Structures are given as C-alpha cells and as structure tokens.
Structure 1
Amino acid sequence: MPDQPPEPRTLSTGHEVAVPLETEAEATAVVVTADAKAADEWLPEELAPVRVALGRTAVTFLSVDYRRIGDDAMAPYEEVGVLLAATPADGPRQEFAALRRGLAGSTGALGGYVAALPVTTEPARALGAEIWGYPKSVASVRITDRGDRRRTAVRDERGHLLTLDAPWNPRFEATVRTTSYTDGDGRGGGADGGVPARRQPLELSGRFGGRPFGGTYTLGRHPLAERLRDLGLGRSLGALAFDGRFTIGGGRRVDP
C-alpha cells in the first residue's frame, strides 16, 4: 500500500485510531458461485459483478479473528463478512477489465462489495461504520478450531445467520493488495441512499493457504440468510486462510 500519512480519528465511543489502520488478524474464507444478475441487484450503480463463468459471479464468506487493532486502540474482536465480487461499472466487459487491473497490481478495480459485516463489539461496529461506511452490526461470532479446520458460527437476536467450515493451513508468505467497496453510508445491501459508493485499499501481508473447491457453508433462518438464498448460491470455488498483518487505507468515492 502506498505510504499515507496517518490521520487520527476519534470514534463516537471515544476510541482513537489512525488511518491507514494496521491490524493483526487470522482469517478464513469460503468463496462460492452466485447468480450474476441477482448479485448485480445488490450492488450500487457504480459497481458491476465480476463474472467467473457464464451468468455466474462469486460471493465470499469471510471469518476474521483480530488480535490487534492499530496501536491497541481497542480490544480485539471477531467479525464475519459477506462480500460480492465487484469492480467499477466502467465498460461492457467488467470481468476482463477487473482481471487486467488486478494482475497489474491496482487496488482500484477487482475487489469485494461488503454487503454485511457482523462484529462482536460496539467499538468495532463504530470503527467500521464511522470511518469507512462498512455495514457493521453487533452479533455473536464463535470461532473454533477442530484439528486443521476452523469453524465459524454467527447469530444475533434475529437468529442463526451462517456457519462456515474451512481448512486452517496458512503456510506461504505473500503480500496481497485488493479493494473493498461500500455504499458510503454504512447501510449495505445496495441501499440507494444517494451516497456515492466508496472504495478502500486493503493490504494483507503474512502467511496464506488455500484449497480449491474446499470449505463448506450452511445458511440459517436469519433474514439476511433468506436474502442470500435469492442469490442462487452454488458450489465452493475454494477456501482461503490468512495469518498476518491487515491494513485498511482511507476511502474515496467510486466515480460512476
């Protein structure tokens, strides 16, 4: 990530953080196929789904266990993300444009639109919502290890949302740069609140692991789970694992 002077920010909870924000985290993810047309209806008008096959895009279910937030700015927490593969809607062949820019190392194209981001504490919710517009909510996230696999279950007062099971196998050192996208108002779900979509540069540096077609997911009866079923979710494309440093830069708007 290009060097940026740290910008101090004070949250409504009184916690002080600096952006770009450096964290230490462990994460697993399961990437599955989804109907591209249905996914497009979730996205702000500035974004388009990245197609991985004819009529299909990808959805990532992400589980993160944060060990450190900035300069110990707040207590560690857990989160679960629902991300739709997306890129700026600047042409008729968005999937090829995204691939070209991603291979070139740009952090301005290929990435994930954050549809939902349950977290375990109120300071964590305020951090994401107030600085980047992430659609965070407070929920119960339980992460457990079973041998070389990691299981994540998330629920709130509306019921069970999701259970993930993925290999825990981070072994290979690498640095990966990508992008997250938000509505800018922290509402998620493609909410049309008149606020331009925003992008946030991300950098992950540490140990990675993967397994093609690995990992499983189970949806509960939570209202968000019912919406996810409307995406026509399909087979797993693969599972990922990460252990290292995760840095989030300042956001900027996505030009339509």
Structure 2
Amino acid sequence: MTGDADSPASSDGKTSITLSTGQTVTLPLVTEATAFGAVFQVPHPPVQKLLPEGLTPVGPTSRTAAVTLLSVKYHHIGVNGIDPYNEFAVIFPAVSGSQTSLPYVSLFDRMTSGYMWYLPVTTASAKALGVEIWGHPKVVGEITHEDEERRRCTSVEVNGEHVLTFAGRRPPSMSLKDSGYVFTVKDGVLLRGSIEIDGEMGMWPFSDKVTVTFGNHLRGSWLQQLDIGGRTIARVSVDGRVVFGQGQPVQAV
C-alpha cells in the first residue's frame, strides 16, 4: 500500500507502508537522533485559534499556552533508502478533549508532546515519510546544525527565506525511558501518534541560555508576533532511540 496510515497490521503487530518515493516503512519506526529544544510561554488566544477542533493548549497557567522549538538531527532512520536528515519542529503542547489538563503539571509532562504546527526537513524522502504516514506539516528547506560541546546553533531557511536561528546549551542529562505523542491532521482526521524515547535525556527549568532570532519567512514572522522573549520555561534534550507509532484517529475535523 502507498502512503496509507490505515494499512492493516501483520501478525507481529507491525504495519508496512510504501511511500510515493518508493521506500517501504515498517511501523513502529525506529530512529536514532539528537535533539535540543526549549519551551516558551506564549499567549493563549492565538494558539487556540490555530489548533484543530478538539485540542486545547497546555501552558504554565490556565490563561497561557506554550510553544516548543525543537532542533533535531537524525543519525539513523530505520528505512532502506532514507538517509539521515535534519529537521526543526514547532510544537504547541496540547491535550485532546478527553484528556484533563493542569497548569504546569500537564506542561512539564508534555513539553515535547502536542500539536505539530510546522516541520521543515532537509530531504524529499524525509518529507514523504512524515506527510504520507502521519500528515506531518513537513516542508523541505535548508537546516544547519552547528554543535560545539553542549551548545547547538540551528539555522532554518525555507524557499530561500530565513525562518529563524535557534541556539542554546543542552541541559545535563541521564539515561531514561519516556513516552509522548504528537497530534497531526491527515485527510481531515485528527491523529494521535505515539513516541517512545530511550536514551540520554535532560531537562532544565527556567533558563535564559537560549536565543531565538526570527526571519522574514511567514512562519517566522508569525512566531515573532507571539513575543516569545529570552527566558524559557525549560530547556530539553534527547540523545538516543526514538520510536514513532502509527497515528490513531482522535476525531474528524
């Protein structure tokens, strides 16, 4: 089957999907990556307006929302024919209508989980992987990571326009296992895909060791209007195995 998130599972619980680019993907998809991110407090109303029906933003208070900027370098993709690539995720932490949300408690439990709003990647095969299986809002662009010791600086350009430059110091980490989820919309259906992480993970609250500079690209300009500021709710990092499960329908949107 080609690009079909509803492909039947085999007897071992795995699902095989063939992309339009020719690669066959087996779900759950096992990858290896290093990621550095930061979570910022932003106003609630503009975030609520862009979320699909059925989702509610999660923030440090009941009247605020949050945005997570996540710089990712994939070292291995468990698919023949898809080489390692870079990506940059903009995620709005959120819960579905059936979930409960408590300020701060829910946010710290879901900092890298939520609604995937924007996801530039560096290759066409990486775009097909995300769009055709989960409905990720992937676009192909230029993403460069400069790593020096614990510091990473990431620059993102799409269609020749500067989206943003994101830089900061990764927090101290330890070996952990964790799980999360991501909401996407595919063919008019809201999906919730599972994420399992096994590796070195770090989190450091309330830090000013992150800088964000926005460009003239439409997405960068929109994010700049959120007035993110220079202080984070938290810095986060991951270095290890990241496993993506098949998206499950939440509701029609």
Q: TM-score range by the shorter chain?
A: 0.7 to 0.9
1:183 to 178, 182, 185: 185
Q: Which amino acid aligns with 2:191?
A: R
Q: Does 1:61 align with 2:69?
A: yes
1:222 to 201, 217, 220: 217
Matched residues in 2 for 1:208 and 1:166: separation? 16
SS in 2 for 1:52: coil
Q: 1:97 to 1:146 in 2, by over 3 A?
A: closer
Q: Deviations over 1:19-45 (max 9, x none)?
A: 110000010001111111110011001
Q: Does 1:250 align with 2:252?
A: no
Q: Does 1:79 align with 2:72?
A: no
2:101 — aligned with what? 95
Q: Which amino acid aligns with 1:246?
A: V
C-alpha displacement of 1:217: 1.5
Kept after mapping to 2: 8 A contact 1:196/1:253: yes
1:208 — aligned with what? 201
Q: 1:171 to 1:102 in 2, by over 3 A?
A: closer
Unpaired segments ≥5 residues, structure 1: 186-194
2:6 — aligned with what? none
Q: Which amino acid aligns with 2:39?
A: V
SS in 2 for 1:45: coil
**TM-score scaled by structure 1?**
0.85
Q: 1:76 to 1:97 in 2, by over 3 A?
A: same
List structure 1 runs of 4+ shifted beyond 6 angstroms.
100-103
Q: Does 1:233 align with 2:235?
A: no
1:188 — aligned with what? none
Q: Does 1:197 align with 2:190?
A: yes
C-alpha displacement of 1:255: 3.3
Q: Deviations over 1:65-118 (max 9, x none)?
A: 001111544110000000001000347xx5229957996xxx9xx931000000
1:191 — aligned with what? none
Q: Does 1:37 align with 2:40?
A: no
C-alpha displacement of 1:54: 4.7
Which has the higher mean CA deviation after the structures are superposed, 162-171 or 51-60?
162-171
- Indicate the RMSD between aligned Cα atoms, in angstroms: 2.4
Matched residues in 2 for 1:98 and 1:236: separation? 13
Matched residues in 2 for 1:123 and 1:71: separation? 10
Kept after mapping to 2: 8 A contact 1:203/1:247: yes
Kept after mapping to 2: 8 A contact 1:39/1:231: no
Which has the higher mean CA deviation after the structures are superposed, 78-87 or 223-232?
223-232
Kept after mapping to 2: 8 A contact 1:6/1:19: yes
SS in 2 for 1:53: coil
SS in 1 for 2:71: strand
SS in 2 for 1:27: strand
Percent of residue pairs identical: 34
Q: Deviations over 1:47-76 (max 9, x none)?
A: 010121252111000111001111544110
**TM-score scaled by structure 2?**
0.86
Kept after mapping to 1: 8 A contact 2:58/2:107: no
Kept after mapping to 1: 8 A contact 2:61/2:103: no
Matched residues in 2 for 1:167 and 1:228: separation? 21
Kept after mapping to 2: 8 A contact 1:51/1:95: no
1:189 — aligned with what? none
Unpaired segments ≥5 residues, structure 2: 1-11
1:21 — aligned with what? 29
